[in-house]
Amino acid sequence: MSMCKTPAELEKMRRSGLAVHRILQAVAAGVQPGASTWDLETLAEAAIRREQAVSAFRGYRGYPCVLCASVNDEIVHGIPSRKKLLREGDVVSLDCGVLLDGYYGDSALTVPVGDPARLPPPVQRLLAATRSALAAGIESARVGNFLGDISFAVQRKVEEEGFSVVREFVGHGIGTHLHEEPQVPNYGQPGAGRRLREGMVLCIEPMVNQGSAQVRLLDDGWTAVTADGACSAHFEHTVAITRDGPWVLSQA
Ligand code: MF3
Ligand code: CO
């Protein structure tokens, strides 16, 4: 099966991407001290319904929720919980995927809880570095480049800033399935891997640790946390490779 989408398919994927964008904005607006990650799940569920979309996550390999909400040392796949309360100075990664009109969209961002100025400066730098690593990856998502160019651009930015790339989880192709070929690692060599073609749609999603890259899985079987307990950040966009350059489908 070809990994390349037609222009008509890209228009549909744009609608899924924009839906995910608006859903995440609605969830991010509910991030405040005292809220639980279950409150965020409730906001996500309502927003998905408003978009007349279907969750891509709930039921995926048995995942129980529509949102992943990963706080501080949680890297990805945090399961929303009524017992998990957000506090000023925390950061929370919000990851959401939907299915709309046969096509998937998937995006994530990491936001401060409360006043951003009250985040510890190293955590502010972690968020900025992860955001710019995603931007560098997107900038490399061009016809004629190689998959490894994206991976390398992400890794270089992360390591330049003194942080570490998580290797256990990777980005992915996306389309009529949430996860399609190819895998998109956040580390690699320029010029390596397959060539990027017009119509490919990739989820680029750096997961970046403040300290060591080592990961531990919690007993819930889902939540991935840093082995050293330090903070982690995650940003993700659904990106189409077009003749005119990268098209970030999950961005307004
Ligand atoms: N954005 C993540 C991914 O693309 C989220 C998957 S969570 C799951 O893999 F619940 F769907 F597994
Ligand atoms: Co993804």
DSSP secondary structure, 146-210, as one string: BHHHHHHHHHHHHHHTT-EE--SS-EEE-SSSSSEEEEE-SS--TT-SPBP-TTBEEEE--EEES
- What percentage of the chain exceeds 90 in pLDDT? 99
On whether residue 157 sits in a domain, the answer given is: yes
Asked if 111 and 195 touch (Cβ cutoff 8 Å), the reply is: no
From 134, 178, 204, 237, mutation site for ligand 1 pocket: most ligand atoms within 8 A of C-beta: 178
- 210-239: average pLDDT: 98
- 146-174: average pLDDT: 98
Contacts of 168 (CB under 8 A, 6+ apart): 215, 224
CATH number at residue 164: 3.90.230.10
Question: What range does the domain containing 146 cover?
Answer: 7-248
**How confident is the model over 79-134, as pLDDT tens digits?**
999 999 999 999 999 999 999 999 999 999 999 999 999 999 999 999 999 999 99
pLDDT at 1 over 70: no
Task: For residues 73 and 230, give the distance between their C-alpha atoms in angstroms, rounded to a whole number.
Answer: 5
pLDDT at 61 over 70: yes
On whether residue 64 sits in a domain, the answer given is: yes
Task: State pTM to two decimals.
Answer: 0.98
- 184-189: average pLDDT: 98
For residue 2, the model assigns a pLDDT of 83
pLDDT at 175 over 80: yes
On whether residue 65 sits in a domain, the answer given is: yes
pLDDT at 212 over 90: yes
On whether residue 94 sits in a domain, the answer given is: yes
Task: For residues 177 and 126, give the distance between their C-alpha atoms in angstroms, rounded to a whole number.
Answer: 31
On whether residue 225 sits in a domain, the answer given is: yes
On whether residue 1 sits in a domain, the answer given is: no
**How confident is the model over 10-55, as pLDDT tens digits?**
999 999 999 999 999 999 999 999 999 999 999 999 999 999 999 9
Q: For residue 240, report the distance from its CA to the centre of ligand 1, in Å.
A: 19
- Where residue 102 falls (left for φ over 0; alpha for ψ -120 to 50; beta otherwise) is left
On whether residue 34 sits in a domain, the answer given is: yes
Q: Which atom of ligand 1 is nearest to the CA of 56?
A: 11
Contacts of 2 (CB under 8 A, 6+ apart): none
Which of 79, 78, 69, 26 is closest to 48 using CA atoms?
26
Structure tokens at 98: 């939907």
Is the distance from the beta carbon of residue 222 to the nearest atom of ligand 1 less than 6 Å?
no
pLDDT at 170 over 80: yes
On whether residue 134 sits in a domain, the answer given is: yes
- State how many domains the chain has: 1
